[in-house]
Structure 1
């Protein structure tokens, strides 16, 4: 049976952060479709793919939300995000984004009061009410992950991309961390290894024969292994680690493969990319 969450609540209470959290957990997230389309949407979903429907006062048919929930063939979890008025005011001032009822109500305080009145019955029906007043973004993400994530997302809620590259072709623009391994023994100058790459056993053995390789890997594992939990605590869902050598074919590829294997053994989701390995 498809898990379904209907996410709603006060404007400024963190629905966009919550929606991104569900996306990071592998849920299909659909925002502000008319409630009359809830049932057809669910019918077209792949079996067992979790669905999060975000619907709030910006929807032109928001009053029909209870009927849309009842039309679903499964019983959804209704999640309502709320926050204290003074917190909502501060958030709107920081973002400079007008409240949906600002002009209708004639000011930010009347707008919040009007929205709260219209949402009272929906909040009472909610299966889960989350007060985000004292929550940071990472704390809200962690709360939702604990409540709704599949086991693999609960354990390591970050995807790590390990990307090898050649400095002669430019550094990756999306790298969060960069490591230069051009100081290691270079297989390029071995004629028998020149046309191979860092995934070949002979190249691996050649690079590992450099006594500096083991010392570097030990320090690399220690630094990256120590850093990742702190990135997770800050709410980072994706991290790209660039490993560079001269051409991006031998040393950087071999080190990237080793780092990827290390992180996978720790339970992280890892994507390994070799950007320049096919360059001539």
Structure 2
């Protein structure tokens, strides 16, 4: 039997549990929302729970399942006895914040049935969850003053193993502006200011991967200074993106046709970054297009 890190994401409705689950999924966890707690041991027996490439499993559980409070403790104890590492993460917020969130999203509170209003439902839920919060939660997170991005950052830090954080996946993409910019680019640089090999008859037929074209571009006026300054900027920015919990970063390098200058420069940027980052790929989007 595989032993898993299991996180139970619970707490008050409107406190950010969906955001927390999304953060766990980004961190490499298999996530399930609103699974009846009594089915948890059975779930651990199905094939998906035996996939070893997941870093763990995160479950969203709360009072949407009205039998949750009656059953959770015995089920959690059973999983712990089986060797799984189970932690309860409890999310909450103050009444004013929760009321505002339900008003803004026009969602219905799960306990607001009949003539009961949102505020009464929030107070009832708080009372019913008190024992779970005080006795079983490994971490209590008040999201009243947290933005979505701040909450994701907190959860990402919880989800990440202290010895192995999810690496940032970097893509360096060369492209031609005449064919449109990459829609997923986070950072984009225009290298059309560099001298164009397209106008050199003996270089025009070849791409920026050819040694003669590459040398022409990289040894051109201003290219080395540009690369020094731009890679220095990237060396500053990328750790900042990592600190904010970003998992994917796409760098676009564009010239007119995406065949000469952008290819040579993108390759040079990729070679610089791969000395620092393990999960990096290089894509020449438009290199095969006819001029």
The CA deviation at 1:85 is 1.8
After TM superposition, the structure 1 stretch with the greater mean CA deviation from structure 2, 108-117 or 32-41, is 32-41
* Number of residues of Structure 1 aligned to a counterpart in Structure 2: 278
**Alignment partner for residue 127 of structure 1, among 128, 138, 147?**
138
- State the distance in 2 between where 1:225 and 1:40 align: 47
Per the alignment, residue 236 of structure 2 pairs with 226
- State the distance in 2 between where 1:193 and 1:41 align: 61
SS state of the match for residue 222, structure 2? helix
Per the alignment, residue 52 of structure 1 pairs with 58
Aligned residues of 1:164 and 1:243 also touching (Cα < 8 A): yes
| Root-mean-square deviation over aligned CA pairs | 2.8
- State the distance in 2 between where 1:250 and 1:233 align: 34
TM-score (ref. length: structure 2)? 0.81
Per the alignment, residue 91 of structure 1 pairs with 101
The CA deviation at 1:235 is 5.4
- State the distance in 2 between where 1:163 and 1:258 align: 12
The CA deviation at 1:77 is 1.1
SS state of the match for residue 133, structure 1? coil
In the superposition, relative to structure 1, how do residues 254 and 56 fare at CA in structure 2: closer, same or farther (>3 Å)?
Answer: farther
Structure 1 residue 29 and structure 2 residue 31: aligned?
A: yes
Aligned residues of 2:176 and 2:256 also touching (Cα < 8 A): yes
SS state of the match for residue 17, structure 1? helix
- State the distance in 1 between where 2:204 and 2:188 align: 24
Aligned residues of 1:34 and 1:60 also touching (Cα < 8 A): no
Aligned residues of 1:159 and 1:269 also touching (Cα < 8 A): yes
Per the alignment, residue 19 of structure 2 pairs with 17
SS state of the match for residue 88, structure 1? helix
- State the distance in 2 between where 1:231 and 1:174 align: 16
Per the alignment, residue 205 of structure 1 pairs with 215
Aligned positions of 1:105-120 closer than 5 A: 106-120=116-130
SS state of the match for residue 207, structure 2? coil
- State the distance in 2 between where 1:195 and 1:39 align: 63
Structure 1 unpaired stretches of 5+: none
SS state of the match for residue 175, structure 2? strand
- State the distance in 2 between where 1:182 and 1:152 align: 40
TM-score (ref. length: structure 1)? 0.84
Per the alignment, residue 259 of structure 1 pairs with 269
- State the distance in 2 between where 1:253 and 1:16 align: 41
In the superposition, relative to structure 1, how do residues 55 and 200 fare at CA in structure 2: closer, same or farther (>3 Å)?
Answer: farther
